[in-house]
A = this chain, B = another copy of it.
Amino acid sequence: MSFDRLIEKIAEKQNPTVAGLDPKLGYIPQFIKEESFAKYGKTLEGAADALLTFNKGLIDALCDIVPAVKPQCAYYEMYGWYGFKALTETIAYAKSKGMFVITDGKRNDIGTTMEAYAKAHLGKTEIEDICEEAIGGDSLTVNGYLGTDGIKPLLGICRELDKGIFVLVKTSNPSSGELQNLEFKDGETVYQRMGMMCEEWGKELPGKYGYSGVGAVVGATYPEMLTELRASLKHTFFLVPGYGAQGGGAKDCEGAFDENGIGAVVNSSRGIMCAWQKAENADEHDYAKYAREEAIRMRDDLRKVIGEMRLK
């Protein structure tokens, strides 16, 4: 009903990293693609098979040191329903290896439709008297533009099945301020208001380490806002994109953490996935080894700034 499970995994591994699994074909070694295309042709099916194989290699190499993965739905939907199958199988595989799964879908809708998303991504689907897990993530990113009607349908399922959500608050992209930074009459900005709504929604899902099951997405590319939001949103756990390829460093993430070194999970996607492409004279067969090395570098980079992660 909160992010306790994620926080415990972070403390156990002393690593507040989530590895983004956004497997574009261009990031995948040739030998994997050739094998998949030999089986299924250069088709959506062949591509989806390649990304599942790539992901499994990454998960095997990361699961003992990285607490969580974040598959980004867009990169799977790109390959149609074959891609969606690969997403589902990636999630199942990561969970079987003990990792916490954040499905990055930024879903949003209202009422019974949002309930359908909640069942799809976090809960179970009824088929008459049978119940089946459709996708099976541990948490889901969502967009709160529609207000409480878009969030409430998630909270019951989070409480019942010990899941969580991350609401977009201040995103990492250059144009995020176009709407999010605008000030209301009382001086509050859109992102501050969204943050306060997270605190409010989170009251229904309290956690034992002080953080609720309603988290917020806040980009590392706006470090002052990260610090400001950490101070004002005491019960809101942060998912921090923007480290690495988007330009944020460990120092930029510091403000996301509390005095116990807890409070956020920092995402790296391309940095980890594409480490083999950046290494000199790398053998593509070693892509997972390079991913692991980069994950260790990132963990140590963050640790230097955050210090020990202590459970209260």
Interface residues, chain A, with chain B CB atoms under 8 Å away = 22, 24-25, 33, 37, 42-44, 46-47, 72, 74-75, 77-81, 83-85, 87-88, 106-114, 116-117, 119-121, 125-130, 132, 134-135, 143-150, 168, 171-180, 182-185, 190, 193-194, 197
The one of B125, B132, B173, B182 in contact with A111, judged by C-beta atoms closer than 8 angstroms, is: B173
Residues of B close to A171: CB separation below 8 A: 110, 145-146
How close is A249's CB to chain B, nearest CB, in angstroms?
A: 19
**Seed contacts A37-B128, A42-B127; 9 additional CB < 8 Å A-B pairs:** A42-B128, A75-B113, A77-B117, A78-B125, A80-B84, A147-B176, A147-B180, A182-B190, A184-B184
Bound: A79/B132 CA distance, A = 9
List 21 A-B residue pairs with CB atoms under 8 Å apart, sorted by A's residue number: A22-B113, A24-B112, A25-B126, A47-B125, A77-B84, A77-B120, A77-B121, A78-B125, A80-B84, A80-B134, A81-B84, A81-B85, A111-B173, A145-B180, A146-B176, A147-B178, A147-B180, A148-B175, A149-B173, A178-B197, A179-B194
Closest to A143 in B: B143
B190-A179 in contact (CB<8A) = yes
Task: State how many copies of this chain the complex holds.
Answer: 2
Once the chains are docked, how many angstroms separate the CA of A188 from the CA of B230? 29
User: CB distance A149 to B176 under 8 Å?
Assistant: yes
Contacts of A176 in B (CB 8 A): 146-147, 149
Q: Is the CB of A178 within 8 A of B77?
A: no
| B179 in contact with A78 (CB, 8 Å) | no
Closest to A151 in B: B175
Min CB gap A196→B, angstroms:
11
Instruction: Answer whether A182 and B184 are a contact pair too, CB < 8 Å, given A109-B106, A173-B110.
Output: yes
Query: Once the chains bind, are B184 and A106 in contact (CB under 8 Å)?
Result: no
**Contact status of A46 and B127, CB under 8 A, knowing A78-B120, A109-B74, A190-B190:** yes
A175 to B179, CA, bound (A): 19
Residues from chain B with a CB closer than 8 A to the CB of A128 are 25, 33, 37, 42
Given contacts A108-B143, A178-B147, A182-B193, contact A74 B130 (CB under 8 A): no
Is B173 within 8 A of A146, CB to CB?
yes
CB-nearest residue of chain B relative to A114? B74
Residue A127 contacts which of B43, B112, B172 (CB distance < 8 angstroms)? B43
Is there an interface contact between A80 and B74, defined as CB atoms closer than 8 Å? no
Decide yes or no: A44 and B145 within 8 Å by CB, A78-B119, A83-B134 being known contacts. Answer: no
CB < 8 Å neighbour of A143 from B106, B130, B184: B106
